[in-house]
Amino acid sequence: MSWRLIDSLATTEALAEVFSDSSVLQAMLDFESALARAEARVGVIPASAAADITSAAQAVGFDASELARQSLRAGTPAIPLVSMLTERVRAADAHSAGFVHWGATSQDVVDTAIVLLLKRSQTILAADHQRLDLALRRLSDAHSRTVMLGRTLLQPAPPVTFGLKAAGWRAAVARGWLRMEEAFADALILQFGGASGTLAALGAHGLAVSAALAGELAIANPSAPWHAHRDRLAALLSACGIYTGTLGKMALDIALLMQEEVGEAAEPGSAGRGGSSTMPHKRNPVACTIALAAAGRVPGLVSSFLSGMAQEHERAAGAWQAEWPVVAGIVQSTGVALASMAETAEGLTVYPERMQENLDATRGAVFAERAMILLAPSLGRDVAHKLVEEAVRISRTSGRTLAEVLAQMPEATRVLTPAQLGRLEVAGDYLGSAEMFRVRLLMEDT
């Protein structure tokens, strides 16, 4: 079981497995075995040594707990790992053991391992992004004409459609995913530079081994080693921060719509989900809460990574060593927010009748702008604004609708026809370009 209880609200089962001890260990061993095969292909080490190293480089049988203990003393997991791997190879062939980790350095192992874990993570994130994108498209299309209150500063505003709102969420996450894809493409690259980034130990074979190693691991081969240059990872993690923040915005919108006094939407519910330990009536926005927690957690983690970008010369003392848990935390937080919102979008219940009730409850106040726009050409904007403001005040104190109040004001009836007053509060007549915007948002990044 790779899912720790303390991380139960901060990751998904799939991503917990990616960053589990056995997975991290295997990623480092994959580097070592690929390095041996690449060097054998180029003629740097014997093919028999590469075969023995590859056979031994399997996580099963390694003591991850002991490796962790020794890592704390060594300042890197690579040193005890290489020692353990060497002993395992020696048990098969003493001569082959001398070629373990040939020409590499500790940071090559650690950085390439994290790249391999990020590559696995990208596949998981991409699948959940596709789920979310499809679900939001369906929601938007299904509710293209579902009218609801717009809300500005948490107060009622002129109407929008739920289809437009869902399309806005979808376009934002699509833009965020495009940034993520571009950043992944830049970051999924080999780290292989040897002691100080020159591969001097490999003599004339350095570039050939590097190219072969990248091919073995199916990742890109950069122009040069990047030991103390963390910009590519920083760009990816920053993109994760933006993407998770976008998911948090969607989560906050839905959580607010789920409030009992609003009641316009609800997350999918099931046994054991959304309840309270003490209040049986509760239906809590669980998935939204998890996404919001991630959106609150990730910016600090991104800041931590960015703070460590100023690294000394060819290898950092401290900043680089701080990265592993930060990277893992950011990617897993992004993943749990994404999976939570994909599940929410796929099962979201929308209540159009309640949306209409909440519109009606304003007694037409949200159409004050519309009334002012109709009156302004004849009365002037300032006069029209004051007139409608007074009408809204009377509406609130009298319980009448805005249209009913205006129908009793001679200044208004001299300008507005009975037909205009009769349709003043028809929400569908005051949606402007909402549908065109909705369609355009669904076309973004397609």
Same domain, 77 and 130: no
Q: How far apart are the C-alpha atoms of 48 and 93, rounded to whole Å?
A: 9
Same domain, 257 and 380: no
Please choose, from the candidates 185, 329, 161, the residue with its C-alpha nearest in 3D space to the C-alpha of residue 244.
Answer: 329
| Shared domain check, 57 and 35 | yes
Do 249 and 206 lie in one domain? The reply is: no
Task: Report if residue 76 sits inside a domain.
Answer: yes
Range of the structural domain that residue 100 is part of: 1-104+190-225
Position 445 scores a pLDDT of 77
Last residue of a domain, one of 336, 360, 384: 360
Identify the pLDDT of residue 4.
84
Q: Are residues 162 and 268 in the same domain?
A: yes
In a domain, 308, yes or no: yes
For residue 110, is it within any domain? Answer: no
SS3 sequence, the chain?
CCCCHHHCCCCCHHHHHHCCHHHHHHHHHHHHHHHHHHHHHHCCCCHHHHHHHHHHCCCCCCCHHHHHHHHHHHCCCHHHHHHHHHHHHHHHCHHHHCCCCCCCCHHHHHHHHHHHHHHHHHHHHHHHHHHHHHHHHHHHHHCCCCEEEEEECCEEEEEEEHHHHHHHHHHHHHHHHHHHHHHHHHHCECCCCCCCCCCHHHHHHHHHHHHHHHHHHCCECCCCCCCCCCHHHHHHHHHHHHHHHHHHHHHHHHHHHCCCCCCCEECCCECCECCCCCCCCCCCCHHHHHHHHHHHHHHHHHHHHHHCCCCCCCCCCCCCCCHHHHHHHHHHHHHHHHHHHHHHHHHCEECHHHHHHHHHCCCCHHHHHHHHHHHHHHHCHHHHHHHHHHHHHHHHHHCCCHHHHHCCCHHHHCCCCHHHHHCCCCHHHCCCCHHHHHHHHHHCCC
Give the model's pLDDT for residue 270: 63
Residues with catalytic function: 276, 315
286, two tokens: 């669980």
What is the structure's pLDDT at 446? 62
**pLDDT (0 to 100) of residue 273:** 57
The angle at the Cα of 251, spanning 246 to 252, to the nearest 5 degrees, equals 100
Q: Which two tokens stand for residue 48?
A: 């028999």
Give the residue among 328, 400, 148, 181 at the shortest CA–CA distance from 256: 148
- CATH number of the structural domain spanning residue 134: 1.20.200.10
Neighbouring CB atoms inside 10 A of 440's CB total: 12
**Position 263 in a domain:** yes
Backbone phi, psi, residue 270, to 5°: -160, 175
Same domain for 378 and 434?
yes
Q: Answer yes or no: is 109 within a domain.
A: no
- Of 164, 198, 225, the position where a domain reaches its end is 225
Sign of CA dihedral 130, 133, 137, 143: positive
- Residue 165: inside a domain, yes or no? yes
pLDDT of residue 277: 41
> Is 183 in the same domain as 47?
no
pLDDT of residue 96: 98
Q: Block means of pLDDT (10 residues each) for the chain, length 446 residues?
A: 80 96 97 98 98 97 95 95 97 97 97 98 98 98 98 97 98 98 98 96 97 98 96 98 98 97 90 48 83 98 96 90 95 98 97 98 97 96 96 96 96 95 96 97 86
Specify the number of domains making up the chain. Answer: 3
pLDDT reported for residue 269? 77
| 169 part of a folded domain | yes
Same domain, 321 and 365: no
The answer to whether position 331 is within a domain reads yes
User: Of 205, 225, 245, at which residue does a domain stop?
Assistant: 225
- CB within 8 Å of 248: residues ≥ 6 apart: 291, 292, 294, 295, 296, 337
- Residue 247 sits in the same domain as residue 207: no
Statement to judge: residues 75 and 10 lie in one domain: yes
Q: Residue 403 is part of a domain; what is its CATH number?
A: 1.10.40.30
Are residue 260 and residue 350 in the same domain, yes or no? yes
264 and 406 inside one domain? no
What the block records as the tokens of 85 is: 């791997």
